[in-house]
């Protein structure tokens, strides 16, 4: 139940494990959570359906969908005719910037979240980035989050008039197993979430892309059953 005393926060909700856990963390901290899900032309657009399920389960106050099309630029296996890498060694993922990096995606997403926050009078934005598993992505690193927060406070009407925006990345230093344990503690039904970069036409996770491999490894290391339906058991 939302009370007049609750402080509003915007959460970027993709429907995956990280953003879902982040949303639950924000709610536990007492925020009135407003979710923003972005359809950006990703091949795994089914994740938006997962975000809707998660928002309903977490009783998010308001869930907004924004549509943009990053396929206009391409340059990523998620938005272009580039094969999603499969059967990689999950323990070696993150050594460089992977082909699943979408150019400037998180900068664009945070800018949209900032605009949403400013219009509803929120000064807190929650962002489910994680630098441990996805250290190859430059827009998932602490310095990116810190720098965007500085930008938010000089590039907005609210910021220059005295509002102090804060970008929260509570999962930044957690492993995937740690995130799953935290989500489990918070009562998340992970069967509602979606992680796969290249799902089958009927919505099964491929079981072989980087994101599936991290997900499977995370559940195994956390000692928690993985509820995901995979098209293949893996490598």
The pLDDT tens digits of the residues spanning 83-130 come to 998 876 555 555 678 888 999 999 999 999 999 999 999 999 999 998
230 belongs to a structural domain: no
229 belongs to a structural domain: no
Domain that holds residue 14: 8-222
- Confirm if 25 and 182 have CB atoms less than 8 A apart: yes
Give the span between the Cα atoms of 60 and 63, in whole angstroms: 7
Q: Please determine, for residue 72, whether its predicted confidence score (pLDDT) is greater than 60.
A: yes
Q: Identify which has the larger pLDDT, 131 or 193.
A: 193
Split into its structural domains, the chain has a count of 1
193 belongs to a structural domain: yes
22 belongs to a structural domain: yes
CATH code, domain with 107: 3.40.50.620
103 belongs to a structural domain: yes
2 belongs to a structural domain: no
* Span 159-187, pLDDT tens digits: 999 999 999 999 999 999 999 999 999 99
Q: Please determine, for residue 56, whether its predicted confidence score (pLDDT) is greater than 60.
A: yes
227 belongs to a structural domain: no
Q: Under 8 Å CB-to-CB from 5, ≥6 apart: which residues?
A: none
Give the span between the Cα atoms of 159 and 83, in whole angstroms: 41
Q: What's the pLDDT at 93?
A: 53
């Amino acid at each position: 139940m939302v009370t007049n005393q609750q402080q509003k926060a915007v959460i970027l909700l993709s429907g995956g494990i990280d953003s879902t856990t982040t949303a639950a963390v924000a709610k536990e901290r007492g925020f009135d959570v407003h979710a923003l899900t972005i359809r950006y032309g990703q091949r795994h657009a089914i994740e938006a359906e997962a975000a809707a399920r998660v928002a309903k389960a977490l009783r998010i106050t308001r869930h907004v969908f924004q549509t943009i099309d990053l396929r206009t630029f391409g340059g990523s296996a998620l938005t272009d005719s580039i094969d999603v890498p499969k059967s990689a060694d999950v323990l070696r993922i993150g050594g460089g910037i992977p082909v699943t990096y979408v150019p400037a995606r998180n900068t664009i997403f945070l800018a949209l979240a900032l605009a949403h926050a400013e219009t509803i009078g929120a000064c807190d934005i929650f962002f489910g980035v994680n630098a441990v598993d996805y250290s190859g992505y430059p827009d998932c690193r602490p310095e990116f989050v810190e720098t965007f927060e500085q930008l938010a406070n000089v590039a907005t009407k609210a910021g220059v008039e005295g509002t102090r925006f804060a970008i929260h990345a509570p999962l930044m230093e957690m492993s995937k197993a740690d995130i799953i344990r935290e989500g489990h503690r918070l009562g998340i039904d992970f069967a509602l979430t979606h992680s796969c970069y290249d799902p089958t036409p009927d919505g099964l996770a491929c079981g072989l892309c980087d994101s599936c491999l991290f997900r499977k490894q995370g559940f195994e290391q956390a000692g928690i059953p993985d509820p995901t339906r995979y098209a293949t058991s893996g490598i």
